[in-house]
Structure 1
Amino acid sequence: MATTSSTADRDDELSTGSSSPIFVGRADEINQALPALRIGHSILIKGQPGIGKRSLLREVHRQLSQNRICLWPTLATPKQFVAELAEQVHHSIGLSVPERLVPPRFRAVAERTGRIQWKHIHRTLVRQPAQEIIHLVMNSLEGRSDVVLFVESLDVPPSQADMLHQLAEHCQVAAGIEESNRRNKVMRLLWRFQVTIDLKPLIGSESREMVLRHLERSSIEFETEKVRDAFITRIVRESRGIPEAITGMLATAANEREVTRRSLHGFHHDSAISYIDMTPMLLIAAVSLMALRYISRGVGVQELMVLAGVGTSMFSLMLFFARRMSAQGR
């Protein structure tokens, strides 16, 4: 029994708060994403944490939803994901619902009109296994070429990765992924994306524009106009073009009574801090210590052998504490 919603489509506004989110720059990325989606490709937005993957997807969604059916369910839990997905499909194109899932008191109306309200089937539908709901959604998407599924992040558990893999066979997908994501289930999904867009940090003028537009909406007070200019310069410099760092520092400033010359130096954000991967250096150190032990045996220099032994012991101790700290961090 194919049914559609008798109510108006729900508001697809994805912004947070009372005002629309601020979006700056990314013209080249949008000009790459929109044409790709319009010709039937799936796109992958790739970048470091806080770089603005969700903001770009949201802007692409806003522009694309004028002539495409755009779905954006949350990824909180697999059950919530499939429930919201089914609801959005029901409102947009009509969910193919078996008669057994339609409460008896609504079946006659559904058979006569071919329509049923979501609230009449919601309770029975969400009681079904997540995989069965996914199959209902895929049956409803069969044969359509105008549906795009937006996925905020592919940092999902294996069960949801499997669901996305199945859905990608029936619709286009626009998703974000962090550069550090190496999950096996997600890696198997990446071949379905024909276009990958690597997000880079904002340039200085774009960062400055973002700060100025935020300040127009905020109620941040400054000691003097000179302090305000210095504050803008510091935010642009300290953020290193990372949008999340900009919004984070502005949120910190909004919690203060007034930004003064003395408090300027306290504005920084973890998102803008870059870390050096020490793995290659540690590997070289370990190999060097092992080689030193064999060399010392070969040349018969006892001092080198003692030095290599002490170095190997210190290296092992350092690895022990590093693993322990990593386990506690999880």
Structure 2
Amino acid sequence: MSAAPGTDPRPPEGQAEPEARIFVGRRLEISQISTALLAGSSVIVKGRAGIGKRTLLGKVREELAGQRICLAPSVATPKQLAADLAEQIHEAIGLEVPERLIPPRFRAVAERTGNVEFRHIRRTLSREPVADQMALLLRALDHRDDVILFVESLEVPPTQAEYLAQLSERCQLCAALDADNRRVRIQRLLWKFQLTVDLKPLVSPDVRDWVEQWLDTHPVAFESPRIRKAFIRGVARDSNGIPAAVQGLLDFALVERSVTRATLREMSHDAALTYLDMTPVLVILSVGFMALRYISRGMGMKELMVMAGVGTSMFYLLLYFGRMMRLRGR
């Protein structure tokens, strides 16, 4: 039997609509990712924590919603992954459900119409082992070339990584990954991505546009119009273009009774911090101490040759670290 769509997208009665997040910039990245996905490639979005990877994936999913079947399950646990996928695949494609999973009171309607609503099989399906649920879902995805699986984070345990690897054989993937991730268990997945997009911080005009839009909808009091302008400049400067830091600074202003010059001096957010790589400094200090040792003993031809070798090595080390830091900054 096939499961028929039947989910009401509206929020439950009495629950407020969630606040729409402000989204600025990233037009080039959205176009690049959407084009690659429509061409049949899988895409991985990399960047530091707080850079906006998940939000970008959500925007791409909205962009492609009318052109592809877009699945976005939670990967928190294997059971949650299977449950979310089952419901989303049911809505978009329809599941071929074994008769034993259909409660007896719904079987007559299912036999007559050939369909069964997902809410009628949710409980019985959830009682199945996760491996059996995944096998059912994989069969539903066989021979399809219009399904994209969006994964908010590849920071997953081995079981979820294995299921994602199986799903990648049947559909495209569009996933987010922290730039400093070195976990071996996801290496099996990485080679399946044809395109890697490295997210960079937002440029200052985009951050200012974000702050202006946010201030239009949030009641923040300022000591003077000049302080308001200084606040916008301060958020753009102190956030370093990191979306998580921008939102954190805005939330900080929201709880203030009035934003003053003193408030501006206190503004900071951990997501905007950058750390200096001290390795080149340590190398220079080590070489310096070595050079002082030779100088203190007096230098002959042999010592000069040693110093020349050390100096050459230090030059190439500094050149290497300089290139590495430049690549990180791009």
What do residues 170-219 of structure 1 show as CA deviations (whole Å, max 9, x unaligned)? 11111100001111111210111111111011111111111111111211
CA contact (8 A) 1:6 1:115 kept: no
1:177–1:136 Cα change, 3 Å: same
1:284–1:139 Cα change, 3 Å: farther
Matched residue, 2:317: none
Matched residue, 2:75: 75
What do residues 110-168 of structure 1 show as CA deviations (whole Å, max 9, x unaligned)? 22212111111111111112221111111001111111111111111111111111101
The 3-state SS of whatever aligns with 1:96 is coil
Q: State the alpha-carbon separation in 2 of the partners of residues 262 and 221 from structure 1.
A: 14
Measure how far apart 1:28 and its partner are.
Answer: 1.0
Measure how far apart 1:285 and its partner are.
Answer: 7.9
- Aligned-residue Cα RMSD (Å) equals 2.6
Structure 2 letter corresponding to 1:215:
L
Measure how far apart 1:79 and its partner are.
Answer: 1.1
Structure 1 letter corresponding to 2:3:
T
Structure 1 letter corresponding to 2:125:
L
The 3-state SS of whatever aligns with 2:106 is helix
1:132-151 to 2 correspondences below 5 Å: 132-151=132-151
1:41–1:9 Cα change, 3 Å: farther
Structure 2 letter corresponding to 1:144:
R
Question: Which has the higher mean CA deviation after the structures are superposed, 243-252 or 278-287?
Answer: 278-287
Matched residue, 2:28: 28
1:2-151 to 2 correspondences below 5 Å: 3-8=2-7, 10=9, 18-151=18-151
Q: State the alpha-carbon separation in 2 of the partners of residues 126 and 96 from structure 1.
A: 15
The 3-state SS of whatever aligns with 1:148 is strand
The 3-state SS of whatever aligns with 1:116 is strand
Structure 1 letter corresponding to 2:46:
K
1:31–1:243 Cα change, 3 Å: same
Structure 1 stretches of 5 or more lacking a match? 300-330
Measure how far apart 1:63 and its partner are.
Answer: 0.8
**Normalising by structure 2, what TM-score?**
0.81
Q: State the alpha-carbon separation in 1 of the partners of residues 92 and 10 from structure 2.
A: 11
The 3-state SS of whatever aligns with 2:234 is helix
1:281–1:188 Cα change, 3 Å: farther
- Where has structure 1 moved over 4 Å in runs of 4 or more? 278-289
Measure how far apart 1:17 and its partner are.
Answer: 5.8
The 3-state SS of whatever aligns with 1:22 is coil
What do residues 23-64 of structure 1 show as CA deviations (whole Å, max 9, x unaligned)? 111111111111111111111111001111111111101110
1:236-275 to 2 correspondences below 5 Å: 236-275=236-275
Q: How many corresponding residue pairs?
A: 291
1:17–1:257 Cα change, 3 Å: farther
Among all aligned residue pairs of Structure 1 and Structure 2, give the percentage whose two residues are the same amino acid: 49
Q: State the alpha-carbon separation in 1 of the partners of residues 180 and 5 from structure 2.
A: 44
Q: State the alpha-carbon separation in 1 of the partners of residues 197 and 5 from structure 2.
A: 38
Measure how far apart 1:271 and its partner are.
Answer: 0.6
The 3-state SS of whatever aligns with 1:197 is strand
**Normalising by structure 1, what TM-score?**
0.81
1:88–1:261 Cα change, 3 Å: same
